[in-house]
Amino acid sequence: MAAGGAFPVVDLAPFFTEDDSGGRAHATEAVLEACRTHGCFSVVNHGPSSWRALELSAAFFALPVDEKVRARQAEGTVAPVPAGYAPQPAHSADKLETILMFDPKLGFNEYPP
């Protein structure tokens, strides 16, 4: 976290290492403090690069629709917002597709079998 009122930056690297050594607790506290003092923060060392995320996103949306719909939210599943793949209806003026992901521990994500 930045000192002296600068915009807070939280380093998530401890969550990707075997030896924690208190780093996860420190990062968690940094998130809480940033939310208390600034209401927002920037994250570094969060895992996949932006380029890799874009590559994976492009690969997913390039799949045929019958494969993408395997990642849609299951019938009867309740999530805070729609989760999984959501094709746009044929009558939609905006032809964009979406996929929403949640923390895996919440159990809302639907992955293809």
Can you give the pTM of this predicted structure?
0.43
In a domain, 52, yes or no: no
In order along its 113 residues, the chain shows pLDDT tens digits of 455 568 899 999 998 888 878 889 999 999 999 988 888 889 899 887 878 878 888 898 899 988 888 877 667 766 666 666 777 666 666 656 666 666 666 666 655 54
Same domain membership, residue 67 and residue 39: no
Residue with tokens 């159990």, as numbered in its chain: 107
Closest to 34 in 3D by CA, of 8, 11, 12: 8
Same domain membership, residue 101 and residue 68: yes
If one counts the domains in the chain, the total is 2
Domain containing 82: what range?
63-106
pLDDT at position 99, please? 63
pLDDT at position 113, please? 46
